[in-house]
A = this chain, B = another copy of it.
Amino acid sequence: MLLFFTFRIKINFYNFVTLIYLEMNYIKKHTIDELADLAISIRKDVVRALKVAGSGHLGGSLGLADVFTVLYFNRMRHNPDNPAWPDRDRLILSIGHVAPVFYTALAHAGYFPIDELQTLRKLGSRLQGHPGRDHHLPGIELSAGSLGQGLSVAVGMALAAKMDNADWKVYTIHGDGELQEGSIWEAAMSAAHHKLDSLIALVDSNKVQIDGRVSDVMEIEPLAEKWRSFGWAVFECDGNSIGGLVETYQKAEKISGKPSVIIAHTLMGKGVKSIEGDYRWHGRAPNAKESEDFIREIEG
């Protein structure tokens, strides 16, 4: 069974040589430049989808475009033709509000037609405002939208993999504001206690949340120290650098005996200079005019 699926992913997605490299985990199918181009396409589609939706979260979605590109096109073992492949790596999006970039990455990876992004947030759409498994969009592991729950779910998954001696990994994505939730620290403590080295978390450290700067709303620094004191291996990188992310993930994946977290320094709204770093774009969608401008800015 396992072999069968592994074989399928080979056929579908990679030529043989690439796959071997992939499994040895130091060369990827796409070059860094290709990944960067992909991230640009994703950003543009995020803007388009949000414009049509008329509401939704642009800022965080743009900031995370590089992370999603790296995960779905470089790091994760997955098969869009078989989303339920038991040996796939899992992506747990703990901050459901950045659904737009998540959906767009899934569409670009081949989980469903890119056109479907236009149905975002509409009645009957598989693309709910926050990911909802009840709507059966392929590629969604978890219905989410209430902050601070994803890390616990990921711990449960990593525990299951460990019990089953399986080698798939669990990648999670968190907001920096989200780390104010105590449930995150419960989960963090338990991941270290159970030595879950298949768990790799990423914090979207954009330094802002809805009410303003994280340091004004509720300071979370010194963040690396916090994670370290909770027993995690801590990495930091520029979360808007494809190369930096690839390298950092590679390091994190090698850690054994403890979970890893990557503090990824990003910019809310990254790619659209005129809104970069502006917390007021946390939960806004662009209108028609803005959408055109933003796409132009993204194209650079």
Contact = CB atoms under 8 A, between A and B. Distances in A.
A193 B218 contact: yes
A229 B228 contact: yes
A190 B189 CA distance: 19
A189 B230 contact: no
B225 A229 contact: yes
Interface string A228-244: 11110000000000000
Interface string A210-239: 000000001110100110111100000000
Interface in A139-196: 180-186, 189-190, 192-193
Interface residues of A, number: 21
Contacts of A181: 182, 186
Nearest to A230: B226
Given A182-B186, A193-B218, A222-B229, 13 more contacts: A180-B186, A180-B189, A182-B182, A182-B184, A189-B218, A189-B219, A190-B218, A193-B219, A219-B231, A225-B225, A226-B226, A228-B229, A229-B229
Contacts of A220: 189
Contacts of A230: 226
A244 to B, nearest CB: 25
Contact of A182 (B185, B192, B225, B231): B185
12 contacts: A180-B186, A180-B189, A182-B182, A182-B183, A182-B184, A182-B185, A182-B186, A185-B185, A193-B219, A226-B229, A226-B230, A228-B229
> Which of A182, A183, A190, A220 neighbours the largest number of chain B CB atoms within 10 Å of its CB?
A182
A184 B186 CA distance: 10
Interface in A191-213: 192-193
A190 B183 CA distance: 15
Nearest to A215: B193
A1 to B, nearest CB: 35
Contacts of A228: 225, 229
> Which of A184, A185, A225 neighbours the largest number of chain B CB atoms within 10 Å of its CB?
A185
Contacts of A218: 189-190, 193
CB-CB nearest 6 A-B residue pairs: A182-B182, A225-B229, A182-B186, A185-B185, A226-B229, A229-B229
A102 B183 CA distance: 30
Contacts of A182: 181-186
Contacts of A192: 219
Contacts of A229: 222, 225-226, 228-229
A225 B226 CA distance: 8
A193 B179 CA distance: 14
Nearest to A224: B229
A231 to B, nearest CB: 7
Contacts of A219: 189, 192-193, 231
A15 to B, nearest CB: 46
